[in-house]
Amino acid sequence: MFIDTHCHFDFPPFTDHLADSIDKIRQADIVGLIIPAVSANYFNTVLQLADNYCEIYAALGLHPIYQHTMADLELLTNIVKTKPKKLIAIGEIGLDRYDLSIDWQQQLSFFRSQLALAKQFDLPVLIHSRKAHDIMYHELHRANLPCRGVIHGFSGSYQQAMQFVKLGYYIGVGGVISYERANKTRNTIAQLPLESLVLETDAPDMPLNGRQGQINRPEYIAEVFKILTQLRNESAEHIRSTILINTLTLFNRINRMKITQNK
């Protein structure tokens, strides 16, 4: 039984074959799937998917590598104010220093505004941080969100991860750990406190080793979990139950009663 804390299920690989995609996640024992929007164009789709399917939950945000306007930020704010029933996080938001052509000051401005929104409405955040971990740490430390959130797709050092963990953030564990060459990430995930980890796929992106060039899918989260158990010293059952508790603790608006009944 799994909860995928980061899956772009609103993208065409899934929405073009929605009935089949939903059937596949149910067969894979995925009892929760969080869809983070990346731009205002996806807000309605994400909210509709969450309304239509009991397993799906929504996160709304403005991703740092997309172009946004103040009208987009205003729309996000107005939607969050209405408190949609299955909106459980702000995301995907963050900072990205990989492509230096993207306006850095605009990134910072949108990011800080969305952190403030999450703080105002007591929502966790789904964080994109690429080549920006040190800056990200200072921004999150300053924001002091009550609900914290997930550092998504983390591939930094153990020391950087522990800085986020000590702030109260969780580390998203995805397909990167399937690559033996990703020694730094694998060693980091092996050493971090189990209580700081959650599972994610980032589907349709971040394919697992052996599936390069293919569409990643949320049902592959079982393989991420299996690899995680091979990296850790705890029993598979202890890892599974702890990660489920971590996820439900952070995303406390997930229907805990339904998850427990399914368990």
Token pair, residue 239, equals 């890892």
pLDDT digits (tens, 9 = 90+) for 62-82: 999 999 999 999 999 999 999
Ligand-binding annotation for 238, yes or no, is no
Ligand-binding annotation for 202, yes or no, is yes
CB 43 within 8 A of CB 78: no
Phi, then psi, of 199 in degrees rounded to 5: -100, 150
Ligand-binding annotation for 8, yes or no, is yes
**Is residue 258 scored above 80 in pLDDT?**
no
pLDDT digits (tens, 9 = 90+) for 133-150: 999 999 999 999 999 999
Mean pLDDT over the full length of the chain: 95
Residues 6+ apart with CB under 8 A from 12: none
Class at the top of the CATH hierarchy for domain 2-262? alpha beta
Which has more pLDDT, 263 or 86?
A: 86
**Is residue 220 scored above 90 in pLDDT?**
yes
Query: Which pLDDT score, from 0 to 100, does residue 1 have?
Result: 87
99 — pLDDT class (breaks 50, 70, 90): confident
Angstrom distance (rounded) from CA 180 to CA 255: 36
Ligand-binding annotation for 68, yes or no, is no
- pTM for the predicted model, two decimal places: 0.96
Angstrom distance (rounded) from CA 126 to CA 93: 6
Residue 64, preceding peptide bond in cis (omega within 30° of 0):
no
Query: Which pLDDT score, from 0 to 100, does residue 152 have?
Result: 97
CB 5 within 8 A of CB 150: yes
The total number of residues shown for the chain amounts to 263
Collapsed DSSP state (helix, strand, coil) of residue 252? coil
| pLDDT mean over 160-182 | 97
Collapsed DSSP state (helix, strand, coil) of residue 94? strand
User: Closest Cα to residue 25, out of 42, 49, 9?
Assistant: 9
Residues above pLDDT 90, as percent of the chain: 94
Query: Which pLDDT score, from 0 to 100, does residue 262 have?
Result: 55
131 — pLDDT class (breaks 50, 70, 90): very high
